[in-house]
Structure 1
Amino acid sequence: MKIALLGYGKMGKVIERIALERGHEIVLRKSSASSFDGLDNADVAIDFSVPSSAVTNISECLNNGIPVISGTTGWLEDYNKMVALCEEKNGAFIYGSNFSLGVNLFFELNNYLAKMMSKFNQYKVTMEEIHHTQKLDAPSGTAISLAKGIIENSDYNIWTLDNPNENEIQIDAKRIENVPGTHSIFYTSEVDTIEIKHTAHNRDGFALGSIIAAEWLVGKKGVFSMKDVLELE
């Protein structure tokens, strides 16, 4: 499989290493200062860039018939535009707030626990996410996905970074040097706390998941998610 890497920072380099280990070829390594030359040779593109570049990168792929995986967060106000463009071009597109296999299993666990805990209003839910200091958006896309999972399965209706009102989920977003990503959900009552937590030890899990998604997407048409890739529906 020939892969275009859109974003060649720390994540891009990890994706490159694992892709080569799996027998794939890198035909484009695009940074913010370089062009899309070589994109036409790709079977699939993987975008781990920055929020300000994501829409341009995804659009370029879809306009040129290249299936695209995007793990960039912080640009989702334009997500529906990219879905519409994918449908217009009969393309293939997967966005994921987190491509780690473990995190996607954690998403399912979070949904199940939220549904179960919705019957017990003595528990108040809060969240904490910790990432490295280079992460540009807060809260993380993963934290937002977790909050949405709780909202869809409970009486909560919104998340906030501030002091929460009734039916609001407080997210405490911390930035600490050299932390790949830690997400915790707390259900706290006067007598106890129930906690579920996912801790990434390095970036390899994110990279491997994005490559697995790319391998799955080649040859398909439509807008998909990691639920489709991992058959979690």
Structure 2
Amino acid sequence: MKIALIGYGKMGKAIEEIALSKGHEIVLKIHIDNTEAFTTEAIKNADVAIEFTSPETAAENIVKCIDAGVPVVSGSTGWLGQWNKVADFIQEKNGAFLYSSNYSVGVNLFFELNKYLAALMEPYNEYNVSLEEIHHTQKKDAPSGTAITLAEQVSQSIQSKKHWVNQPSENKEDLVILSERIDPAPGTHKIKYQSEIDDIEIIHTAHNRKGFAGGAVLAAEFLLGKTGIFTMKDVLFGEK
């Protein structure tokens, strides 16, 4: 498989290492210092693009790849305010796109655990639920996309939590997400249910970027030859 890496920072380099170890070829590497190389002709040399950039550029990058007829796996967060516009374009072009806020297989299993636990806890109003997340200081968005996904999953089951906030709050309807940025920290996410009697917690802690990078390559392998919009749930559990 020929892969274009749109974004060649720490994550892009980790993806490259795993892709090469699996016999794939990197045909394009786009980073902040060579954006002029990000041309339609160059993209078309790839079978699939893996896009890990910034909230400011992600949507434009995805559209550019789809317009060139190349499937896209994206792990950029903070751009989902443009989701509908991008999704409409993908469908119009009959393209292939896979998005996840986190490509780690462990995190995606954690997502399923989070949904199950929230459904179990919903009848027990004596427990207040909150989230914590820790990432490295170079992470540009807060809360993380993974934390937002976890919070939205909780809110779907815990009806008393109307919305999430990224600060301490005494409002019972607020689902609090507390964010920390410290080095080194590939990523930790904790969901805590707290009562006067006891606490129940589930925690996922990443030890390095290999889990995220490996999942992104797995997603690219899955996406090849498909059309439509997918998630890591499709990759891991065969939903489509």
- TM-superposed CA distance for 1:33, in Å, is 3.0
- Structure 2: which 5+ runs fail to align? none
2:113 aligned with 1:109: yes
Alpha-carbon displacement from aligned partner over 1:110-145 (angstroms, at most 9, x marks no partner): 000000000100000011000000000000000000
Amino acid at match of 2:163: I
Distance 2:95 2:210 in 1: 28
How far residue 83 of structure 1 moved from its aligned partner, in angstroms, is 0.7
| Alignment correspondent of 1:160 | 165
Counterpart secondary structure, 1:196: strand
Corresponding residue number in structure 1 for 2:14: 14
1:224 is aligned with what amino acid? F
Q: 1:232 to 1:142 in 2, by over 3 A?
A: farther
Answer yes or no: is 1:186 the counterpart of 2:192: yes
* Counterpart Cα distance in 2 of 1:162 and 1:206: 27
Paired residues of 2:96 and 2:227 also in contact (CA < 8 A): yes
**For the residues of structure 1 that align with 2:193 and 2:32, how far apart are their CA atoms?**
42
What stretches of structure 1 move > 3 A for 4+ residues in a row?
none
Q: Normalising to structure 2: TM-score of the pair?
A: 0.95
Structure 1: 5+ residue stretches without partners: none
Matches of 2:167 and 2:185, distance apart in 1: 23
Question: d(CA) in 2 for partners of 1:102 and 1:227?
Answer: 12
1:86 to 62, 84, 90: 90
C-alpha offsets along residues 12-55 of structure 1, whole Å, 9 cap, x if unaligned?
00000000000000000001232214211000000011111101
8 Å CA contact 2:168–2:178 kept in 1: the answer is no
Whole-Å separation in 1 of the counterparts to 2:54 and 2:7: 8
Provide Cα deviations, 1:153-190, integer angstroms capped at 9, x if missing partner.
Answer: 12122100123312211000000011000000000000
Give the Cα–Cα distance (whole angstroms) in 1 for the partners of residues 238 and 128 of structure 2.
28
**2:103 is the alignment partner of 1:99:** yes
Stretch deviating more after TM superposition (9-18 or 48-57): 48-57
SS state at 1:152 partner: helix
Aligned equivalents of 2:33, 2:54: Cα separation in 1: 13
Whichever residue aligns with residue 122 of structure 1, its letter is: E
Structure 2 CA distance, aligned partners of 1:15 and 1:88?
A: 29
RMSD over equivalenced CA pairs, Å: 0.9
Counterpart secondary structure, 1:138 = coil
For residue 61 of structure 1, report the CA deviation from its aligned partner: 0.7
Match of 1:36 among 35, 38, 41: 38
Task: Using the TM superposition, give the Cα deviation of residue 232 of structure 1 relative to its aligned residue in structure 2, in angstroms.
Answer: 6.2
**Closer/same/farther in 2, CA of residues 182 and 188 from structure 1, 3 Å limit:** same
Q: Pick from 62, 74, 81: which aligns with 1:77?
A: 81
Q: State the number of aligned residues.
A: 233
Task: Answer with 75-84 or 124-133: which moved more.
Answer: 75-84
Question: Do 2:51 and 2:76's aligned partners in 1 also have CA atoms closer than 8 Å?
Answer: yes
Structure 2 residue 236 is matched with structure 1 residue 230: yes
